[in-house]
Chains A and B, each alone.
Chain A
């Protein structure tokens, strides 16, 4: 891990750039290979997108990417086709993801600031424990956590999905932020301290504004991972009217009649949009955040 984290930004000018670009047949070979792999990778996504605009009868009989006739009814049918309106699932997903983002940004930055800037008793042990929780399978704590939230009557509410984020349970982000805070010169803290600022003011007025890139990375990853976190949502949200987007999608699985593939593809495509948009906007930052303190996959 340290090898990677110490490696610094992956976008640092690489010595390789000094080398000249390949020429001739080898260059063509590499591009052909890469384009081929990219096509295989992305084709299923394009197929789903195109299927979402085809009538059911055409999806499996006309595998080509361009529909004979665009059939947008799949979207309107799918939107209301699973009992509740999809707008309800989207609203529920939004509540969960926004709550989780706020929780992670606040609690993880507080913890990271403490780890990066203070000396205190047992710090090495605590830091080690924090890294240890990164490798802990969540199943190990699942049943007691469920029992706890059950006793608090939080089942079928968003609380079990949001409150833990306010308790900095996503150690990955603490780690990411510790790395970032360490790169902020301590002179800035010390100057503020000379001016009589207390540690909280330093955190709030200096560290937090300066660590904005790390906060953005945390926001995007928390958003995507929470939005996609099917397991927790499946466990804690059991009533249809509490369902989030992933849970709403699974309702299509029960309709085995085969007459609703179009609407199912339409809503599945729709469900991928938020992640896709995040990816398109923040592509560079996502890749960078991953490479500098790579985790999860």
Chain B
């Protein structure tokens, strides 16, 4: 991915209209080369970004790696404790494992559901259709609002004991319950909230679908391929680069979900730690308990997990992603 992009960067520009005068042309070429070489200009333009990259990304990353091997409470200097934070995490912290399993459940259920829905709706919308703009807007809106605290507050009431969801179930004669305060169901309300925001991947799928070559479909139609065959034999294989892109993004995003878990449980991760998503646990360790060394270790584990997942995705993509070019 990266190489594909950077290759593009160095593409030669189209030569400007060459003046007849040879000397003028040479002078221009030299100036163009000098400017494209750029001297110190590019570094000047990149200066803020360089400061940010080193000061707010690279140095903090290394520092948090160091802090993860210390006992640090912000107020007194960090004290080196070796791998103690990590061994405590793996051997001595049931809450850590609790949040790992809740987060795993959240990621494993919400990402496929969200993407399947996004793809299904995108396929439905990918045709000449009256009201297309309205549908697209209606499906995209929750994605745009979804990160807000206000939405999480709404969700909390929606699935509360006397919330709208139970009224809805009532129509079918099903007696509801308080889905938020039941530890068996609370994380599923968070999953539903994630699925509700399928609009972003849907828009990306839709853009991808519009680029698929139509002649293949015409050929398939002539051969008598049905709707499902066309979807599984043509659409899905051709769309795999975009599926891949969405999978990577959604997994990275899902692992870091924080706001709804915080709001729905009022910052506790409860009931019985059933909404203790990993980011919430990390926040509580770092900023409620001021165990910032331990929180740094948690952060590095999260970082490594996300990196491994992304790497697996990239490696696996060689076997299932179909690139046309």
B-binding residues in A (CB < 8 A)? 1-5, 7, 10, 12, 14-22, 30-31, 33-34, 37-38, 41-45, 47-48, 51, 60-61, 63, 106-107, 110-111, 113-120, 123-124, 126-131, 133, 135-148, 150, 164, 166-169, 174, 178, 182, 185-187, 190-191, 193-194, 199-200, 203, 224-225, 228-231, 234-235, 245-246, 249-250, 252-254, 261, 264-265, 267-269, 271-272, 275-276, 279, 283, 286-287, 290-292, 294-297
Contacts and interface: CB of A to CB of B under 8 A. Distances in A.
A22 B145 CA distance: 32
A32 B162 CA distance: 29
Nearest to B78: A147
Given A110-B49, A133-B57, A150-B74, A143 B9 contact: no
B207 A47 contact: no
Contacts of A297: 143, 197, 200-201, 249-250, 253
Given A111-B49, A140-B64, A44 B128 contact: no
Given A20-B128, A166-B48, A279-B144, A3 B303 contact: no
A118 B38 contact: yes
Contacts of A34: 121, 124-125, 131, 135
Contacts of B319: none
B164 interface: yes
A230 B149 contact: yes
A7 B310 CA distance: 23
Given A120-B38, A275-B148, A111 B197 contact: no
A249 B150 contact: yes
B36 A119 contact: yes
B66 to A, nearest CB: 9
A290 B204 contact: yes
A93 B207 CA distance: 33
B151 interface: yes
Contacts of B292: 143, 146-147
Interface size class of B (residues with CB under 8 A): 35 or more
A287 B299 contact: no
Ranked nearest first, the 7 interchain pairs of A and B with the lowest CB-CB distance are: A167-B52, A297-B200, A291-B207, A10-B207, A144-B60, A114-B45, A268-B150
Contacts of B222: none
B63 A144 contact: yes
Interface in B288-322: 292, 295-296, 298-300, 302-303, 306, 310
Interface string B31-71: 11001111001111111110111011101110110010000
Contacts of B267: 250, 253
B14 interface: yes
A141 B292 CA distance: 12
B129 A4 contact: no
A186 B14 contact: yes
B135 A7 contact: no
Nearest to A203: B45
A48 to B, nearest CB: 5
22 contacts: A4-B208, A4-B245, A10-B206, A19-B128, A30-B129, A33-B124, A41-B196, A45-B141, A114-B43, A127-B5, A127-B6, A131-B5, A139-B282, A140-B64, A142-B60, A143-B60, A182-B8, A187-B17, A190-B16, A203-B45, A267-B150, A297-B197
Contact of B279 (A139, A249, A283): A139
Contacts of B263: 250, 253
B163 A60 contact: yes
Contacts of B210: 10, 12, 14, 16
- Kindly name the residue among A1, A245, A264 whose own CB sees the greatest number of chain B CB atoms within 10 A: A1
Contact of A21 (B130, B211, B306, B310): B130
Given A137-B252, A261-B157, A271-B150, 10 more contacts: A38-B135, A45-B145, A48-B154, A110-B47, A141-B64, A143-B286, A144-B59, A186-B14, A235-B283, A269-B150
A111 to B, nearest CB: 4
A128 B5 CA distance: 9
Given A30-B124, A140-B61, A297-B197, A116 B9 contact: yes
A272 B196 contact: no
A114 B153 contact: no
B140 interface: yes
Contact of B52 (A164, A229, A249, A283): A164
A126 B49 CA distance: 10
B142 interface: yes
Interface in B154-168: 154-155, 157-158, 162-164, 167
A63 B204 contact: no
Given A1-B1, A169-B52, A297-B201, A136 B57 contact: yes
B51 A167 contact: yes
B208 A41 contact: no
Contact of A142 (B9, B35, B64, B131): B64
B303 A139 contact: yes
B252 A135 contact: yes
A27 B74 CA distance: 63
B177 to A, nearest CB: 15
B261 to A, nearest CB: 11
A32 B59 CA distance: 54
B153 A16 contact: no
Contacts of B51: 167
B49 A63 contact: no
A167 to B, nearest CB: 3
